Structure 1
Amino acid sequence: MASLKALVPPKPITLYSSVVCPWAARTWIVLTQANVEFEYVEIDLKNKPEWFLKEVNPGGKVPTLKYGDDIIIESAITTEFVADLFPEAQLIPRDPFLRAQSRLMADRFSEFLFPIYREVYYSGNPGSDAKIFDAIDKFLPYLKDAKPFFGGSDHLTLAEILIAPFLSRIYLVLESGLVGDETLKTLASDPKYEYFNTWAQNILATPGLKGTFDKTANLAWVKERYASV
């Protein structure tokens, strides 16, 4: 379990990120959840600073993680790097089988629920309830012993950190009133989806999510997207 004591990295860490980027949120969440000391630098994705492109990451993508003098990119890689750097935070299962299963869970979320995220978050079209619930039905077999988190963990695991930014944004839109609220009502009331919804709500209540997810900024971004569709 992540210690309440701040974890000091062997080399200084700087995270270049954006509050509205779910990919960058993965690395922000893992650093916050593990209570790591790091510097956060916000990057305006619509107007990326020249110094960022010249001196940090010519590709212009976030997250970009600076570790000492080294640069690490791509969200899954930067997130796993942090988890590996701080084994005391216990974000990756020690058991090789559970580790494989946790990675499979993240992969299956991407396969089944990421398309729902894109429809809901990008276009304001969640589709039919059946489409969303069909995706959850397919995902549930890979959500192993989430009591409250994967594998019976009492805190977020790496797989859930990879999933969390997209899950939180799905719930944000469903709760915002921008789309119909029947889906959210079913998630909250149907016993069939109680397991999934409880797991999701537990994720949303963690320090990693509460300390990084700016609902106001992300909702404004969603509304802007909807207006352009």
Structure 2
Amino acid sequence: MAAPNISLTLYYNPECPYVHRALTTLHELSLPFTTHFVDLDVPRSPAYLAINPRGTVPALTFKSPDYNDNRETIVNESLVIIYFLGNLLPNHLLPAAVTGVQVAVDRARIFYFINTWENKINPLFEKVYIASFAGQKEAKEVEDLLVAAIKKEIEPLLKKEERDREGLFLGGKDKFTMAEVVVAPLMLRLFAFVHGGLLPQSLKSNLLALPYFGKWAREIVKNENLLKEWDEAKFLEGSKAKLQQFRDGTYKPKIAT
């Protein structure tokens, strides 16, 4: 399938897992794009705040002679960006929004999974990262909450029906869906924290011990398009530097404006 007649620019910072969602989607769809680095360690420039008043990343701008007289159009926030990209052309990440029961079921499954992850699980990931700064005891307490939540909320969604046993991804697919795009960047970072000694090894082993989630998590972090934008050593180096600043009392969270 030919790429749409569109020019894409992604405003990004490689440290951000939400940027990683957009990058993985672009690679999965083989869409040509350019990037513009946004330094998250300094206040955002007026030029960037004009693109995204929240000052967060990612942001996406596009132009097309087939839309809006080729004037620049802006799309912000990672989920909105990946849905936008997924609707540009037929693809394996998101079934086309056409009339039909099977397509409706497949899209509902993906959207419900993402909704569950964002509302029930993602906030706990943020607590795990914060606990890694505080100490092993706090990290273990949040670990128990995270593993229990994934077991309760995500395991049933990954339990395949009998007719869906061919593939390893959501709904028995053999390629990434949007669900995997949303979760995989966070899992990479969580496992990196474990590999780097910032979180207890039990967190990874307990997650991988879950029958459905464990098998799924092992596979999603192997995706070649996900790994194109990943440098675990560099990520850990930056994370450990921030941890040391936190312990020294010199760490100052950066503001967007």
- Pick the TM interval, shorter chain: 0.7 to 0.9
Instruction: Say whether the 8 Å CA contact 2:13–2:40 is kept in structure 1.
Output: yes
Q: How many residues align?
A: 220
Which secondary structure does the structure 2 equivalent of 1:127 belong to?
Answer: helix
Structure showing greater radius of gyration is 2
Aligned twin of 1:47: 42
Task: Please point out which of 4, 12, 22 is paired with 2:7.
Answer: 12
Equivalent residue number for residue 176 of structure 2: 156
Q: Which amino acid aligns with 1:91?
A: L
Taking the aligned partners of 1:218 and 1:121, their CA distance within structure 2 comes to: 13
Report how far residue 51 of structure 1 moved: 6.5
Counterparts of 1:195 and 1:106, CA distance in 2: 17
Distance 1:173 1:90, change over 3 A: same
Q: Is the 8 A contact 1:27 1:78 kept in 2?
A: yes
Give 2:95's aligned residue. Answer: 93
2:56 partner SS: coil
The code of the aligned residue for 1:198 comes to K
Per the alignment, do residues 148 and 173 of structure 1 end up closer, same or farther by CA in structure 2, a change over 3 Å counting?
Answer: same
2:135 matched residue in structure 1: none
Change (3 A) 1:137 1:70: same
Contact 1:123 1:226 in 2 (8 A): no
Which residue is 1:38 aligned to?
Answer: 33
Deviations 1:23-77 (A, max 9, x none): 2221111001222111122211112563742664344221110111111111111
Aligned to 2:158: 143
The question of 1:212 aligning with 2:229 is answered: yes
Root mean square deviation, CA, Å: 2.3
Matched, 1:103 2:111: yes
Query: Which ranges in structure 2 are unaligned for 5 or more consecutive residues?
Result: 64-71, 97-102, 133-137, 248-257
Q: What's the TM-score once normalised by structure 1's chain length?
A: 0.85
Residue equivalent to 1:23: 18
Identity within the alignment, %: 26
Structure 1 residue corresponding to 2:81, chosen from 75, 78, 82: 78
Q: Which deviates more from structure 2 when the two are superposed, residues 55-64 or residues 199-208?
A: 55-64
What is aligned with 1:175? Answer: 195
| Secondary structure, aligned partner of 1:105 | helix
User: What is the rounded CA distance, in whole Å, between the counterparts of 1:54 and 1:105 in structure 2?
Assistant: 32
The alignment's TM-score, normalised by the length of structure 2, stands at 0.76
Q: How far apart, in 1, do the equivalents of 2:198 and 2:155 lie?
A: 26
Alignment-derived partner of residue 118 in structure 1: 126
Partner Cα distance (2:14, 2:184) in 1: 14
Contact 2:110–2:179 (8 Å) recurs in 1: yes
CA contact (8 A) 2:159 2:212 kept: no
